[in-house]
Amino acid sequence: MKKCSWLGLLAVLCAVMQSLSCSSGQRLQSIAVTPATAKFLDPVTIVNFQLTATGTYTHPPATKDITDQVTWTVDVNNLITVSNAGLVTLAGTGACGVANVKASLKTDNPSGNVVAGTMTVTVADSTHPECPQP
Segment 67-83, tens digit of pLDDT:
999 999 999 888 899 99
Distances (CA, A) of 84 to 1, 66, 67, 99, 103: 64, 12, 9, 17, 10
Q: What are the extents of the domains in the chain?
A: 2-125
Length of the chain: 134
Q: Between 14 and 62, name the one with better pLDDT.
A: 62
Residue 10 has pLDDT above 50, yes or no: yes
- Is the confidence at residue 24, as pLDDT, over 60? no
**The listed CATH number (2.60.40.10, 2.40.30.10, 2.40.128.110, 3.20.20.140) that belongs to domain 2-125:** 2.60.40.10
Per-residue pLDDT of 86-126, as tens digits, reads 999 988 766 788 999 999 999 877 777 899 999 999 988 77
- Which pLDDT belongs to residue 106? 92
Do the beta carbons of residue 133 and residue 126 sit within 8 Å?
yes
